[in-house]
Amino acid sequence: MRLLRLGDDGEFSLTKFVGNNIPRYAILSHTWGADNEEVTYKTLTDGTGKSKAGYAKIQFCGNQAAKDGLQYFWVDTCCIDKSSSAELSEAINSMFRWYYDAAKCYVYLSDVSIGDSVGSDLSLQRTWKAAFQRSTWFTRGWTLQELVASTSIEFFSAEGNRLGDKISLLQDIHDITKISIQALQGRPLSQFSVDERMSWARQRKTKREEDAAYSLLGIFNIHMPLIYGEGREKALIRLRKEIKESFEDKLSALPPMSSPEQLKRKRESFSIVPFSRGPDIVIPSTGLTVLHHICPWIHRPSPANLDLRDRRCQVSHQRGRQISRATFKNSKAQSVLYAAPGRLPHCYILAERPDSGHRP
């Protein structure tokens, strides 16, 4: 990871850090202007970047980081040598983590202007709030993961005035983006279904069509090679394939079903096993979190004998997978049947721990 530092002479320098020896840093989130207006790695290192319009954003980020006691900061336009395909691929696959690890994330809204000061005057606030809600920052593909990943994020106007943070502007951000408030507050993204996470990006645009997929890698905790030129649809197909394989790997790691002999031996010693929250595993397209401890189907009829006409048993079919859920009257338990194409069904009981307020 290459970081910027503002020297005593007012000049910027770049330092490359490898491994776990990365110092605390701030990070910039913004919308790109025209390519010839942004300061690149090349123009920063050869000294020709100062005349670019984008240089003001770098100065803003450096000055704000210094105010917050941070020596180092990161700006995507000039901290990545995009002439190296290997470096670009590494950066894009690491981007979500870099925003997550940043001590501060500054969102620079070039299309939100409030003059020279931020006051408490309600008319002034209404003016910038209206511009805030219309900002193109909320329509760009890459800013989705920057918004969700960053744990300490602050919003600034074009003049560099602080407008608020993700906490104070939470309801506004939710209303604009339709992203779940829980996700904005830091709940693990694995607890949200694939369809819901995909919906967050549905109206967003990217300059390069393949970035519609690449900008979502961190949202799904996926890593894959970049193939610019493959087109939007092929990139999205590869992304969905990686998501599917990732979920199947997690599900295959669940404890195998016991044999009939083992079930017979355990029948008298087991009833309903309480759960505690284990690894975050969400069955695709359902948002259902698989909770541990998970015990095999013991006291209930075999999955094949479930009465699917029972109004308490809900069945859904999602791309060849069947998820059956039934809640029983006499126990705080929920059965889950997961059947993947070409595989035997996995059948589990999820039960509420008596002293827990959680619900499966």
Nearest-Å Rg of the Cα atoms of the chain is 25
pLDDT at 142 over 90: yes
pLDDT at 3 over 90: yes
Average pLDDT value over all residues in the chain: 77
Given the DSSP bridges, would you call strands 104-108 and 12-16 parallel, antiparallel or unpaired? unpaired
Coil vs helix vs strand at 197: helix
The pLDDT, as a whole number, for residue 243 is 93
Lowest mean pLDDT among 126-135, 257-266, 317-326: 317-326
Confidence band for 270, pLDDT divided at 50, 70 and 90: very low
Find the mean pLDDT for residues 228-241. 96
- Predicted TM-score (pTM) of the model is 0.70
The total of other beta-carbon atoms located within 10 Å of residue 205's CB is 12
Task: Give residue 164's region: left, alpha or beta (phi > 0; psi -120 to 50).
Answer: left
The Cβ-side half-sphere exposure at 336, using a 13 Å CA radius, reads 19
Find the mean pLDDT for residues 209-224. 96
Confidence band for 355, pLDDT divided at 50, 70 and 90: very low
The total of other beta-carbon atoms located within 10 Å of residue 180's CB is 18
Q: Each residue of 13-72: pLDDT tens digit? A: 999 998 888 999 999 999 999 989 999 999 999 999 999 999 999 999 999 999 999 999
pLDDT at 227 over 90: yes
Confidence band for 10, pLDDT divided at 50, 70 and 90: confident
Q: Rounded to whole angstroms, how far apart are CA atoms 329 and 326?
A: 10
Q: Each residue of 173-182: pLDDT tens digit? A: 999 999 999 9
pLDDT at 165 over 60: yes
Q: pLDDT higher for 339 or 129?
A: 129
The pLDDT, as a whole number, for residue 319 is 32
Q: Rounded to whole angstroms, how far apart are CA atoms 11 and 41?
A: 15
The pLDDT, as a whole number, for residue 180 is 95
pLDDT at 352 over 70: no
Q: Rounded to whole angstroms, how far apart are CA atoms 284 and 6?
A: 46
Could you give the percent of the chain with pLDDT greater than 90?
60
Q: pLDDT higher for 23 or 122?
A: 23
Find the mean pLDDT for residues 62-91. 96
pLDDT at 254 over 70: no
Q: Each residue of 283-301: pLDDT tens digit? A: 444 444 443 333 333 333 4
Contact between 5 and 72 (Cβ < 8 Å): yes
